[in-house]
């Protein structure tokens, strides 16, 4: 399984709730970015698709320990608790009647494989180039800098269009593909493991509802440990450590 001292690749996807879900996905990205800054981790955006109002339909980014700057080397061990469905309850900016809406975004936390863990064969890949779209002005649309990679054996398709450089987008797309292939392999291996090990992996499930952010009540609730915190604005500004530390202790108590 994953070495918990390694880098992590995070995928945030807007779920139910339309534009508000995309705005919430952008809020989660901002929260994780500020948390990463507090840990001295390096952040690299690998792919991003914006919504019409400046939200994010999807964003994929990598967090890496900044060894030279004294950054903690425990990126995956801290971030793995964020995997699952996050729910927000608030009055959206798009709501004119003052009604509270419930929207969701899903987060997947994938360990970044080492070069030895995943080996890709060129004949298994189909690589397509296309014009990038989204924020960045006309420049981003004029050149074939976006990339799509299809992995035939698994059927996995990944894209990257955040950089103006084709080679960098290809490198980013390959990082996403390798992480998803490692995740797929680990899920398959899980089927052959005992119940205790399966329970340990539950922290990183994509589909499990893990947390609710209730703005009117100034409360963040983690459903896995049935615990709530107040000062929601501070938490959304990246003050995640109190939540992460309780989750770490809870997991250790279970095993």
pLDDT at res. 131: 82
pLDDT at 138 over 50: no
Per-residue model confidence as pLDDT tens digits over 77-98? 899 999 999 999 999 887 888 8
Q: Per residue in 215-228, pLDDT tens?
A: 999 999 999 999 99
CATH class belonging to 122-190? alpha beta
Distances (CA, A) of 79 to 32, 35, 73, 159: 9, 10, 12, 23
DSSP states of 55-94: -EEEEEEEEEE-TTTT--S-HHHHHGGG-EEEEEEE--TT
What is the pLDDT at residue 1? 42
- Closest by Cα among 196, 134, 192, 194 to 160: 134
Bridge partners, residue 221, by sequence: 212, 228
CA distance 120 to 133: 28
Average pLDDT over residues 100-122: 88
Query: Which pTM value belongs to this model?
Result: 0.83
Map out the domains of the chain as residue ranges. 8-114+197-245, 122-190
For the domain covering 8-114+197-245, report its CATH number. Answer: 3.30.70.1660
Output the pLDDT for position 63.
95
List, for residues 23-74, the tens digit of each pLDDT value: 999 999 999 999 999 999 999 999 999 998 889 999 999 999 876 545 556 8
Q: Can you name the residues that pair with 43 across neighbouring β-strands? A: 63
């Amino acid at each position: 399984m994953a070495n918990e001292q390694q880098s992590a690749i995070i995928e945030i996807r807007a779920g139910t709730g339309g534009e508000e879900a995309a705005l919430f996905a952008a809020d989660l990205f901002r929260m994780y970015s500020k948390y990463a800054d507090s840990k001295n981790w390096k952040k690299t955006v690998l792919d991003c698709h914006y919504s019409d109002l400046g939200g994010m339909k999807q964003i994929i980014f990598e967090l890496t320990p900044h060894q030279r700057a004294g950054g903690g080397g425990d990126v995956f061990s801290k971030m793995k608790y964020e995997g699952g469905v996050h729910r927000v309850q608030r009055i959206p900016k798009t709501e004119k009647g003052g009604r509270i809406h419930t929207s969701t975004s899903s987060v997947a936390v994938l360990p970044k494989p080492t070069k030895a863990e995943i080996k890709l064969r060129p004949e298994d890949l189909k690589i397509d180039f296309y014009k990038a779209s989204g924020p960045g002005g006309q420049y981003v649309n004029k050149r074939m800098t976006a990339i799509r990679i299809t992995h035939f054996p698994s059927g996995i398709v990944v894209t990257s269009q955040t950089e103006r450089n084709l080679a960098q987008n290809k490198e980013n797309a390959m990082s996403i593909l390798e992480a998803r292939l490692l995740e797929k392999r680990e899920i398959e291996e899980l089927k052959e493991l005992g119940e205790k090990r399966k329970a340990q992996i539950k922290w990183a499930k994509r589909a499990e509802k893990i947390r609710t952010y209730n703005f009117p009540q100034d409360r963040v609730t983690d459903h896995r440990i049935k615990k709530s915190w107040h000062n929601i604005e501070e938490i959304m500004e990246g003050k995640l450590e109190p939540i992460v530390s309780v989750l770490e202790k809870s997991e250790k108590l279970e095993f």
